[in-house]
Structure 1
Amino acid sequence: MEARASEFRFKRLTEVAPVGIYMCDQKGKVTFVNDAWFEITQVPRDFDVENWIQYVHQDDRDIVLAGLADITEASELVAQTFRWITPYTTKDGQITERWTLGLSQPEFAEDGSHIGYLGVSTNISEQKLREKTQKKTARRSKGNFVNIASHEMRNPLSAVLQLSDQIVSSLSDCRKYYKNKDYDLQLEEEITAAIDAAQTILLCASHQKRVVDDILTLSKLDSARLIITPVDVQPVAVVNEAIKMFEQECHLNDIHMDLEVDDAYRNLSVDWVKLDPTRLLQLLINLLTNALKFIRSETEKKIIITLSASLDKPLDPEGLMVFPSVRKTSEPSEASPPSVNETECPEDSLFLSFEVKDTGKGLTEEEKSMLFQKFSQASPRTHIQYGGSGLGLFISRELVQLQSGEIGVLSEAGNGCAFCFYIKVTRGEPQCTELPVYARTIVPGNQNKRNLGGLSPPLGDASPRPVSPGIMTGATTPINSRAPDFRRLEGCKVLVVEDNLVNQNVIRKQLQKLGCETYVANHGLEALEKVMQSKLYMKATGDAYDLTVILMDVEMPVMDGLKATGEIRKLEAEGSLVRRIPIIAVTANARPEQIKQMKEAGMNDVLSKPFRMPELVNKLEGVLGKG
């Protein structure tokens, strides 16, 4: 009688309980569930009691089954959160994932044998949706803060770089002028000291720019929003672009930098491939910055960049310490960044290997183990002696991993360093008819073994070549690029659209120094008015002026650069302008998706702040067809 009463009370309890109640035998077969459980899980009432796991979300099934094993082993209450295959619809009609919190405990017979499980389920879909929304909001707020901070730091840095260049240029001209005249030697010393000071400002500002870039990249990595965007490009051109960026520093410090292409690269007829040139350039800049930092005080100052290729995944050379990524790739994330598919092996895929080798002091085993970690450097003395944020190598590791590659270091104390990495690419379509450009120095490839980066003998053992102090021999000029000829811009009529008055004045004066005529606008609406007052406008008056090109900032009051560009392109489409005018975005917004948005708005090219005048001249020559 008492047993029957207990059974009745249990049945009534399960009927009125607001939670799902379930019971399973020791093999996991469902023996009882209440109505609330069906309501919470949306499992059909005629479900297979022995195969109920099929209604759990595919990505969570292993977790649930492992949890059941833990319950038996722990002999206590175990909590699990997981998803079901049926979506959940909120009260306002929003469709999201169906989440439940399950609390389960094992049941044992009087003799202590395990006979099954008893548990309850609660619907936590609304809570999970709120958490997801809060994370999105927090991520967006963090991204907005980083964007604003980056924008505010890049703007003044651009002025610092350009004004420092102007000081160096003016004082150098002054020194040349007075060298042929009889003047006080103390004045020459003062001029030389001022030039050195301006060059130091340039180096410091360039370092600050790299730190800003690192912080921006780190933010995107943390929020899983860093995107790899492969395009058709020649790898040699990207390497040469990286080398050219350090040309002035090599001149100042008497450093020899050389690019060598392995025979394997030629034998495979590698020319155009699909890769992300921005991320490859960032990788090379990080490694070259690292190498330059550690060889400035050395007697022998050499950096050799080696480029190789292979059809198979490169093997690790003996002694190489490889650092795989620590990013969690198993967790589901709607913002997970795309990477090259490691399992996909199309016929036109291959691996590119890069090595950056220097003649620095080398690294001990302990120092090598500290590399590639966030905010970490080889030793505490490294930051004091050489500076740096401790982010460059960590970011490099993540960028390589996103491109289905690996990165490592080969080094001994007192014998320099070789940082090696490879990435997976596919052959691309030629974008011009020019022959592939190779470096002047070629390293014979090892036909018997492919390695990570095509390691060559130590630099000290390399066959000697005549090296002029301070000259980067062996570094070829990037394809379709050469040192800018400033005289080619004489007579250009440039409209500078910039709301920052400091940057506006700096750019205007620099352009005037190059022989350009300049006009200014403080925001997009003024720019539109300037265009309609120029000879470009079909209804222009007699006192209208000509315009050759527009330099357009993006973030501005009244009307931003994207809107202004769209309005100008609309006037062209309507036939209100006599011709199409080139527009170059000059902006502190440097993210790839932002650059893509500018191109889609109708801008011909994008120049990211901070920049130096040779970079601007190259952009102007490009859009004006003067290159």
Structure 2
Amino acid sequence: MDHTPSPSLPHAALPQDDVLTPTMLAEVLEATGAGIAVLDARQGGTPLVYCNPAFEEMTGYTAAELAGRNLALLRGPDTDPRTADTLRRALDEGTPAALEILNYRKDGAPFWNALSVRPVRDAAGAVRWLVGSSIDITRQRRSEQDLRDAQDQLTRLAAETFALAEDLDRAREEADTARVAAENASRAKSRFLAMMSHELRTPMTAVLGMGDLLLGTALNEQQKGFVNTLRSSADTLLDLLNDILDFSKIEAGQLELEEIDFALGRLVEDVVQLFQVRAAAKGLSLTASVADETPAFVRGDPTRLRQVLFNLVSNAIKFTERGGVEICLWAPHTADGEDILLRFEVADTGIGMTPEQRGRLFEAFVQADASTSRKYGGTGLGLAICRHLVQAMGGEITVTSEPGDGSTFGFSIRVRPAQSVPRRTPDLKDPAPQPVVSLHILLAEDNDINRMLISTMLTRMGHRVDAVGDGRAALAALQGRSYDLLLLDMEMPVLDGGSTARAIRRSAGPVAQMPIIGISADALPEHRDRHMACGLDEYMTKPVDWEALDTLMLEVVGRPRTQRPVPAAAPPAAAEGFLGIPLIDRVKLSELRLALGAESLEGMLRLMPEAALRELSAIHAAFQGDRPRDLGHAAHTLAGLAANFGAPRLAAVARAVNERHADAETVAALLPLLEQAVADTNRLIEDPDAVQGAA
């Protein structure tokens, strides 16, 4: 066949005699990979009069099956009605159309059709034929959809990352994203634990102290029993609090075990006495047996051992309705001078467990099943703590149980022989002997109940006490009279303990050598150095151990005055450390741009300089007006603003101001650094090209 185009046949035009020649079309269209369909525009419904083999292959229909039919038969349940209407109007009106439509093959399989429809006119200019060109773009659409799904997932991940950024901002500038996330989670946990410790320990001081005071009054035997139970329960609650605070250290492998001598039998007896009333209330027996060969005294961590027994006995009573609970203790192997293996069993006649329940029993936050949680409550954390504690003490914990036949929890620990028989702790219900030295003590404590409690206990010990409610009042009291010792709460309004201690140490005259003991409900060991750096002689955590406090006070007062500690230098001396932090965090800005979009981010960044200057002005006003709390609040707001929008240097300086907001000297030294950080950051943000380049 001659493939030379006929000069008399217009491009893309059909013969002018209105006769569609299949032979000629087949020769022209046979080789094309696009599906071609020709529709008759003069007949109602624009039926198909021709299609090429590519169109047959695409649709699964033969030309004979399609001839004379409307191509609406290719539509299916998921074909977009609006797209179908657009195509129908184009065919009815004889106008061009280009669209993508979901069609269905003869076998029902869907495919995406990139369809282009063009009218072909006769010699009079009327639409005679409609020619459709179809390309199967199913793979392309699938790839595009996969790309969109990936982009959507990336956007969601970016949004989640942005939501977490507020928790990660304090550590983001110090390391890469993965390491920072882990460090920030640890810091967030520490902050939460410190707050929880403080909030719980403050009332616990009152509970324990008031119990001690009641035991020192005239009580009948029944009342003494009530108070002893109250005191014992409060001690146990305090032990639980301490163990929960240590859980993060257990997870991190940082648990520190105590090594002291203690009486094994007395410890088991204390656990039994604590739960005796609870067991009796359910009609259960609670017994304990200690094998004869078991050593009476050992050296180890009685608090951790008591914690394990407490959890196991508590659970045994909780899940037992009839019968009883038994504690057994023995030492399979003992030898002088070597580690001693102790074995414990806590057996009950309770509901028992299935093998599946036993298999996940020691996982954190897991209980036997959902019904157990609904009926008995609890967090499912106790047995996980037991497992970690037992392993830390060189042993292991197991359980044997069958449904309806009760459970037996067995565990072992390793202890050492006692170095000496522990002396009996003086009973606080007995009147304490008058101390050899009577001290005149200034107490600074903001909590009214604790101030009354500590004053009463110190007075009972034979000391004289003047009490004030904040650090500024303590400084004023020291100007008017002389005291042997200052007992200083570290968390107080107006002027906190750290600022008060530094002010005393830096003052002129003998008052600078004042013996100072800090007390705090903050039990986290890593915070001790921070408190001591303020110029304290010693530091104790609440609840107060009265006997230990009395001994410590006498020892501190007896130290040479020339050996009083000097407060650590204020942090502004390390200004170079702030200058080493970048003004803009490229990674953070990239995450924000991905999560928010470039336009939204730029709009938000334009608002930041004004907001930063507003908070800086508030900090200056609070500093001039001697309002440390307002100053701290403004600095906290500025630090969060800067961290959220990728300005790590400004965030670090503002955070330092917030952390030391009650220390006027430190704040005064930090303000120039803060002002410079605000100016430099704003200058960079106000230059869009610079920010774009930084990101």
TM-score by length of 1: 0.45
- TM-score, length-scaled by structure 2: 0.42
Question: Which one has more relative contact order, counting CA pairs under 8 Å at least 6 apart?
Answer: 1
More helix by share: 2
